[in-house]
Amino acid sequence: MILSIFVSQTKNNMNKKHLASAIFGFISLSALAQPSGGTTTNDLQLNTITTAVPFMAITPDSRAGGMGDAGTALSANANSLYWNTSMLTFAKEKSELSLSYTPWLRQLTNDIHLSYLSGYYKLNDRHTIGGALRYFSLGEITFTDASGNVIRNDKPAEFELTGGYAFRLGKKTSIGINGKFVYSNLTGGLTVAGVNTKAGVAGATDLSFTYYDDELRVGGRDAAYTFAVTLNNVGNKIAYSALNGTRDFLPMNLKIGNSYKMELDKYNNIVFALDLQKLVVPTPAYYDYVDLNGDGVTQASEYTMLAGKNNDVGVIGGLVQSFYDAPGTLLKDDAGNYIQNADGTYQVAKGSRFKEELSEINIAFGTEYWYNNVLAIRAGYFYENKNKGNRQYFNAGIGFRYNMFGIDISYLAAVKRQSPLANTLRFTLRLYLGSKAKNTSGDSNPE
């Protein structure tokens, strides 16, 4: 459900800020289940998948943020609570704390930000626990009614509290599980058009698996390979009003990660990482007005689902359905009318459903170079299909470590001009606590 909330002048009178607030409010309050018009060719139509609480899917840390957001198979650190909890059993440090800060959408506004505090502790060589707090502030917003009259100023915010546990199955494999509590207060209980709104509340879990082999020898050099799979944010659908029962999916995400690390010599090593990521929530079906009565006039009652599947399903049903529910591209005749089959269904371009399913897979690639376990240089690229959001950007970053402290900084350069993500900076401070973990390999790389 999209609430009829109009954002007017803010304290700083910034029009760009209005746009950012509206964007995040609408995304968080609605699944936007109806895509825009179709095409007359075999090209895929614009059909972006959106969910509630999208802040849960924002990369929080500067290390992965400097490597194209390819963090699923990176070596363990405190931010593994977000990427892959199962990796924590292979951590080289006994414990670590990390604090990250990201000014968000700086092209549009100056007071939206994401903060992330995380940490872990290795109980022994098989059991590791951790926790994290994610806080997302949408800045100050002035709510008005349809006539432009000011209702009040508010500071909408959302947060996520995470507890994690990792268990080492064997020498090279481990599993992990997270439990999450999510709170999203976007309206402060504002009543809109007679509808009482409320804060959205949800519980969710992450499941993860890692295969890690750091005993490889390639070309006479020490090497390590990591394969990881995570399923994130599986939890109840969230609602912002109790009136009509409308509930939206959390950003459930499947990630498959690979990384390869090679020791160049005593002082130099390099890491390559590749992630495949997919939202596992239902794809919006394709709707349009069709002349069902044959009277040459279309009416509101003739707004019809022409392709795809109904996304009003449960969490597990939606997760499974997400792998085969893409509507594809509808075909039209020379007159611009949709072509019907004999059974009353509408024709879809051959292969377009499968093509659209593939287009929902995002690709993240990054590389990291370390010198003498002190200085890191990072770069990466993230690709999302133009019909599924069109996030495409390069990343670069640096990292430093001295004794117990580490700091990472990353920069995002968007490929698309005027992208709201352009020039995003992330900052991460890491604190290494305690001695080296026992029963780990001799790899001392601080990554």
DSSP conformation class of 247: -
Give the pLDDT confidence score for residue 278 in this predicted structure.
97
- Report how far residue 45's alpha carbon sits from residue 331's, in angstroms, rounded to the nearest whole number: 11
Give the pLDDT confidence score for residue 93 in this predicted structure.
92
Alpha-carbon distances of 175 from 209, 278, 292, rounded to whole Å = 4, 20, 53
Give the pLDDT confidence score for residue 439 in this predicted structure.
52
Give the pLDDT confidence score for residue 39 in this predicted structure.
38
CA nearest neighbour of 260 among 219, 229, 220, 214: 214
| pLDDT above 70: percentage of residues in the chain | 84
Give the pLDDT confidence score for residue 41 in this predicted structure.
42
Q: Residue 342 burial (CB < 10 Å; 0-12/13-18/19+)? A: exposed
Contact partners, residue 411, CB within 8 Å, separation at least 6: 66, 395, 396, 397, 423, 424, 425
What is the rounded end-to-end Cα distance, in angstroms, of the chain? 43
Lowest mean pLDDT among 107-116, 136-145, 348-357: 136-145
Predicted confidence (pLDDT) per residue in 365-387, tens digit: 999 999 998 999 999 999 999 99
Considering only residues 8 and 320, tell me which one the structure prediction assigns the higher pLDDT: 320
Strands 191-192 and 425-436: unpaired
Give the pLDDT confidence score for residue 447 in this predicted structure.
53
- Report how far residue 56's alpha carbon sits from residue 252's, in angstroms, rounded to the nearest whole number: 9
Which of the four pLDDT bands, split at 50, 70 and 90, describes residue 108? confident
Reading the block at residue 344, the tokens are 């009353």
| pLDDT above 90: percentage of residues in the chain | 64
CA nearest neighbour of 224 among 75, 348, 58, 400: 75
Spell out the domains of the chain, with CATH numbers in brackets: 6-284+353-436 (2.40.160.40)
- The pLDDT mean for the chain works out to 85
In this model, does residue 22 exceed pLDDT 80? Answer: no
Predicted confidence (pLDDT) per residue in 173-232, tens digit: 999 999 999 999 988 878 766 778 889 999 999 999 999 999 999 988 999 999 999 999
Reading the block at residue 319, the tokens are 């997760």
Give the pLDDT confidence score for residue 387 in this predicted structure.
92
